[in-house]
Amino acid sequence: MKMKEFKGFAFVEGGVCAAKGFRAGGIHCGLAHKALTEDAPAAPVQGKQKNDLAIICADKPCTAAAMYTTNKVQGAPIAVTRRHLSDGRAQAVIVNSVNANTCNADGAQKAERMCKAAADALGLAPEDIIVASTGVIGQPLPIEPIEQAVPELAQSLSEHGNAAAVEAIMTTDTRPKEAAVEFSLGGVTCRIGGMLKGSGMIHPNMATTLTFLTTDCEIAPGLLQQALRDVVGLTLNRVSVDGDTSTNDMVCILAGDGAGNEPVHSEGEAYDTFRDALYAVLMNLARMMARDGEGATKLIECLTDGAADDRTAEIVAKSVITSSLFKAAVFGEDANWGRILCAVGYAPAEFDISRVDVTLASAGGSILVCKNGAGVDFSEALAKQILSEEEILVHVTIGDGIGTAVCWGCDLTYDYVRINGDYRS
């Protein structure tokens, strides 16, 4: 999937290892979905064994910020990470896939044991470790395979270990999701990079995913948290695949000082540049997540403009990308614009429906399908051609205001049900 460029920022390779002073790695430690207990470890799988445990580590202590799921049911790693980040500092992340370590009586204890294992292997304090888990909810986490694998994993960390790390956090994801950009602050080159997992159980309700970010740009703790909160609101919180918000969602960022920039201590040009760079990374990761929605064949991007304010535009755009009927129509490449107008109409916002215009666009062309709240004549053949592309833009104008917003979703396919019908097998 092609990166969506953002003026003034150059994309670079390396993901979470793109910034100076960060290493990462991943390993297969042997976790499994079903019937896995500490007394009965999983048998090896046929062929290549997918990585299921990762570590990201900074050379020096970092400023850190995070956001978490708003689900009332929260995984044990969330509680442990909150405690560890109470001082706004961290130096490493340990994360596993396959098992979410959620709704388990011993969950917090095992999350702490993951942190201790990583700390011992890296020569750090357990309180300087961020911990995360993703996978099946409600099954006890087998901690011994993790503890046994951590020393080898820690030894394997490298500046080129991002690919191994991102593989380790994938669950039903069909492709790795990484992005990194390079930018200049006062003539000094800085970088922000990150990796993300997310394919299902995704809805805009913070944070929709596990996302890990690193930067070598030195920035004050309060500004780092502010930038993360603001940008997540414009990116990860504007993605929906299926209307479900997970229990383990987390996005965190580690900020070191490897670039050697003048520290960003106040709002202004330098802060704005940093925030825009963070947006460039998270916006592209959000698009990748929507495109890789479980069973998805197409990315849907809804641009709403002409609203009285940005919040109104966001509500309307989210209503469109979460409409199951419209998502199914996109899968069938059917220009059923009535489903779009219906979703616009039940959005909980105030605007004049008689002023709504809808245009469909893609690499295959552009076509107006609705004007002033009513249908117009259009070529069904051209509409079919437009909807046959992998990325579909739905442009909804709801007036002549200055409010605008972009949200991302995907089509709804037969495979979504198949994947979630036997997720634990």
By annotation, the residues acting in catalysis are 208
Residue 323 backbone phi and psi in degrees, to 5: -70, 115
Which strands, in side-by-side order, build the sheet including 391-397? Answer: 374-375, 365-371, 357-362, 391-397, 299-307, 403-410
Tokens of 144: 């011994």
DSSP codes joined into one string, 286-304: HHHHHHTSTT---EEEEEE
Q: Which residues contact 349 (CB under 8 A, 6 or more apart)?
A: 307, 311, 312, 315, 316
Say if residue 207 is preceded by a cis peptide, omega within 30 of 0. yes
Positions of E strands within 79-156: 89-96, 129-133
SS3 163: helix
Instruction: Please return the burial class of 301, using the count of CB atoms within 10 Å of its CB with bins 0-12, 13-18 and 19+.
Output: buried
Q: Per the structure block, which two tokens stand in for 86?
A: 């109470």
Distance CA 160, CA 182 (A): 17
Any idea what the Cα angle at residue 4 is, between residues 194 and 162, rounded to 5°?
25
Report d(CA 231, CA 251) in Å as an integer. Answer: 11
Q: Distance between alpha carbon 85 and the CA centroid of its chain, in Å?
A: 20
Contact 172, 140 (CB under 8 A): no
Q: Give the Cα separation of 339 and 395 in Å (integer).
A: 14
Q: Supply 231's token pair.
A: 């940008």
- Asked if 249 and 209 count as a contact pair (C-beta separation under 8 A), the reply is yes
CB 246 within 8 A of CB 293: no
CA distance 11 to 281: 9
